[in-house]
Each structure stands twice: as structure tokens, then as C-alpha cells.
Chain A
Amino acid sequence: MLTLTSPIETRLHTIAAGPKLAGLALATFGLMLTQSMWGIGGAALFVAGVYTAFGTEFARHGLRLLRPLWPFVLIILLWHGWTGEIAAGALIMGRLLTAVALANLVTMTTRLDDMIGVMERLAQPLARLGLSPRVLAVAVALVIRFTPVLMDKAGQLMQAWRARSARRVNWRVVLPISLMALDEAEHVAEAIRARGGL
């Protein structure tokens, strides 16, 4: 399945996932505490600089990932334009965009395998509660395998629907897709049992 990791190799790709995540957590915390326009502005410039240093293609990809935020940017603009607290609005917007861009940067430069590795390490203490890291790894693999399978099924159902109806596809497909999820779950459980269970 597609991941959000950027195919453009950067220097950040070579840093291990753990330190990157720790750095991100610290930086995000710092951003939340910063109340000065200079602080936020500086951070924003720095992050933008890192993106552009990795090339225009990479930077454009990063911008695309910020696109879903536009309604909120609009709301902040309108709101603070209305109340006249422009500076406060700029601070909120700058903090939001910088924090999201920074987090996206980590996602874009870390391979899924490495992230799963970190997750398994973090979940190690849960082994004592009966959740072995292996079970977690199987669960993750199952989601990655079956999301496209269910998606295909949804696509087929919608096609079959369109072939026989002039009306737009609606959510009637949710019942058959859910039914398929249940049936697949039974098959998967049996397939795991066939190889010794968990």
C-alpha cells in the first residue's frame, strides 16, 4: 500500500526513526509554549528552509500535505480579521502550520518498516500484559493487506451499482463491505489457525 514516505531520498532519511520522533516531540512541545511572534516566525522559516533545501519537488510534496488545512486557515483569517486581533491570529496560524509541517517532515523521511520497529519497541512493556510484539506485528500486516482488498470490493460494488442505476452511489455499499470484513476475519482466523495460531 501507498505510504506517505517521500521517494526523494534526503539526509533525514538516514537518521534513525527513534531520535527523529524524540526531536519532533520536543520541538512540538516548544512550539506550543512559544508566545513570541519572533519565535514562531523563526521556526516557520527554519522548517520552510529545510523543505526547500531538499529540492522543489520535495517542498511541493510537503505543501500538498498541508492543503487539508486551508479551511482552518480561512477560519482563523476571517475570525481574527473580524475581531481585529491580527497578531494573535498570525501566531495561532503560524504555530499550526509549523507544527504540522514539522510532523509531516518526519513522516515523509521515515520508512514504514522503521516506524513499525519503533512501535514494536514501545509496545515491548505490553508483553507482560499478554500482548506480544508478534501479535501486534501480525495485526499491522493484516490491516496493510486487507485495506486494499476491501477497497477493491467497495470499488466493484460501486461499479455494479452504477451499471444498473442512474442515481449516484450512496452508502448502501457499507453493509456489504462490512459483511465482507466479517467474513474475511473468519477466513483469516482460520488461516492463522492452520499455521499454529497466535
Chain B
Amino acid sequence: MEKNVAYIALFAALIAVLGLVPQITLATGVPITAQSLGVMLSGTVLGARRGFLAALLFVGLVALGLPLLSGGRGGLGVFAGPSVGFIIGFPVAAFVAGFIVEKWRAGIGIASFAGALIGGVLVLYLFGITGMALVLGKSWPAAALLVGTFIPGDLIKAVMAGFITQGLAKLRPLSVLSRA
């Protein structure tokens, strides 16, 4: 029990920290942060259930008023804003990513890349675009167009999630709970 709680809490903290490390700017000029990489890693490293709970804990703390979202945002306001879909989608994204790593017994690197891609990009954008369409009163394709510029950055993150999970599995095989 305490082991699960500790891993879940530490990964919620990791998601927060990755949102606060400096963003990088892609060649296209679009700034991206590593926050959703933290969500992907929660799933690929901790597995579906714990990854879901880590991201949920993170989202809950944002709602309570901690400035943990990238750029130091937080509080209830973000749930009324255009990014609400992405934030609510975090736990689901982590769950799907973890589910794929648990069930697809390919090499951990490749399975983590696939999990991050499907959970952390595809599923997350489904939620994110839907939220944005609702809040901004636009059609779904129009909202998709608005966030499309961020997709290349998220593809890079999915690749990184694959490499990083593989690295962690090599360094701490017993701690990568999605495969332990």
C-alpha cells in the first residue's frame, strides 16, 4: 500500500516538475513544455492503474489551487478555460499509455513509445480538442486546426517517453512497475 501511494505521489510531483522546467521551442517556433511527457511516463513506468491515479492526483491538486500546470497556472480557473480538455484528459491518457505497456509484451522501449503515442497524444488530443471546441464555441475540426501546431512536439515527447522508460527499466528494473 505505502509503496503504491509513494510512487503515485512522486509521479504526480514529477508531472508538476516537468511542467516547470524550461520549455523548448521547436523549429516551427511553437514552444512546448515537458508536462505531458510526465503524464506519458506516469503511464509507461507505473502502469495503467497507478499512472491513472498519479495523473488524477496531479489534476486534483491543480483544482485545489496549487500552481502546478506549465507556466505556473492552476486553480479552478483552468477548468473553465480552453485547455480544460487536456487537463481532464491527463488521467485517461496515462491509463491508456500504461495499459498498452502492460498488455503489449514487446520490448519496453517500443511498447512505451506506442503507449505514449496512443495514450499521451491520440487520446489526450481527443479530450483536448473536444474541450477547446466546447469552450471556444467552435466546430471540432476548427479546434483541431488550432492545436495542430503542437502535435509535432508531442510526437517528439512520445519518442522520448520510449527512450526514457527503456533507460529506467535498465537502471531500476524493479521500480518500473508497469513491467515488474
Contacts and interface: CB of A to CB of B under 8 A. Distances in A.
Given A2-B67, A68-B73, A75-B136, A142 B82 contact: no
Nearest to A62: B77
Contacts, number: 187
A167 to B, nearest CB: 12
Interface stretch (B18-26, B93-101, B122-130): B18-26
B5 interface: yes
A149 B7 CA distance: 15
B168 A182 contact: yes
Contacts of A149: 13
A96 B57 contact: no
B17 A197 contact: no
B13 A146 contact: yes
Contacts of A40: none
B5 A198 contact: yes
A174 B67 contact: no
Given A110-B65, A171-B34, A103 B2 contact: no
Interface of A: 1-5, 24, 28, 65-66, 68-69, 72, 75-76, 79, 88, 91-92, 96, 99-104, 106-108, 110, 112, 115-116, 119, 135, 138-140, 142-144, 146-147, 149-151, 154, 158, 169-171, 173-175, 177-179, 181-186, 188-189, 192-193, 197-198
Interface of B: 1-3, 5-14, 16-18, 20-22, 24, 34, 37, 41, 45, 57-58, 60-61, 64-68, 71, 73-82, 135-138, 146, 160, 164, 167-168, 171-172, 175-176
23 contacts: A5-B65, A28-B80, A66-B77, A72-B81, A91-B137, A103-B75, A104-B76, A110-B65, A139-B5, A142-B5, A143-B61, A146-B13, A158-B22, A171-B21, A171-B24, A174-B21, A174-B37, A177-B18, A183-B172, A183-B175, A188-B6, A193-B2, A198-B5
